[in-house]
Amino acid sequence: MPDKIEAPGVLLILLPGFACAYIVQFLAVRQKQSEFDKVVEALLFSLILYLFTLPFFGYTFPLSWQPLNAAHPSTY
């Protein structure tokens, strides 16, 4: 993955997990979490959400990129 789209790609992958974690935190009283715990929880929620919705979207990843030229597969 190119460096320029790496950070937004990670954000787009984790965004549903962070939203789900925020809703769970709002509904349930829990102990204070570290930032690492929040990211791991968001990753787990994202994984669960993507696995659940995978059949509805044709078994494709939420992000995809293809090379512009078949001769140079590292150029996106």
pLDDT in tens, 10-67: 787 788 899 998 999 899 888 888 999 988 998 899 989 888 888 887 777 666 666 6
Would you say 23 and 49 are in contact if contact means Cβ atoms under 8 Å apart? no
For the question of whether the overall pTM of this predicted structure is more than 0.75, the answer is no
Domain with 16, as residue range(s), is: 3-57
Give domain status of residue 75, yes or no: no
Where do the H-state alpha helices sit in the chain? Answer: 6-27, 35-53
Report the C-alpha gap between 33 and 39 in whole angstroms: 10
Please state the domain count of the chain: 1
Token duo for residue 17: 């997990």
Report the C-alpha gap between 38 and 25 in whole angstroms: 10
What number of other Cβ atoms are within 10 A of residue 42's Cβ? 20
Report the C-alpha gap between 63 and 46 in whole angstroms: 13
Residue 2: the pLDDT is: 52
Give domain status of residue 29, yes or no: yes
| pLDDT surpassing 90 at residue 7 | no
